[in-house]
Amino acid sequence: MRVLIVDDSKIVCDGLQQMLIDIVDVEIVGQAHNAEDAIRFISESKPDVVILDVRLPDLSGIDVLKNIRAKKLPIQVIMLTNYPYPQYRKKCEELGADYFFDKVTEIEEIPKVIEDLAKNKPEDVKKKQR
């Protein structure tokens, strides 16, 4: 399973990469630090999963999510934010985000989700999380 990490903070990207690097059958295909690079990288690398920060310096992660869904790409999207406001969560869910995590309190859940996605069908992972 190929994973792209998108966050404007290199520290967050590197931290997530370290959290995921030893998961069997998972390959980190790269990092992007803004929406423009993320959209380009998604087109080029065809990841299975994108971990996507809501706030980016150029466009928002929500704009990247819209782009992914408009193109009907078969990508699992994990939204990540320091701003876990209910309106962001609702908007991301409405636009087709598969997961939504708070960087401060829920980031540790991401490796388990990635591991489950690597082992199972995405719809089975969602059922287990409910």
Q: What is the largest CA-CA distance in the chain?
A: 35
- CATH 3.40.50.2300, domain 2-129, yes or no: yes
Q: Which two tokens stand for residue 61?
A: 């992660």
pLDDT tens digits for 48-93? 999 999 999 999 999 999 999 999 999 999 999 999 999 999 999 9
The residue length of the chain stands at 130
**Around 90, how many Cα atoms within 13 Å sit in the side-chain half-sphere?**
3
Is the confidence at residue 122, as pLDDT, over 90? no
pTM: 0.90
- Strands (E) in 15-130, as ranges, are 27-32, 49-53, 76-81, 99-102
Helix (H) or strand (E) holding 77: strand 76-81
What are the structural domain ranges in the chain? 2-129
- Cβ–Cβ under 8 Å, residues 33 and 7: yes
9-54 pLDDT, tens digit per residue, is: 999 999 999 999 999 999 999 999 999 999 999 999 999 999 999 9
Specify the pLDDT at position 124.
Answer: 53
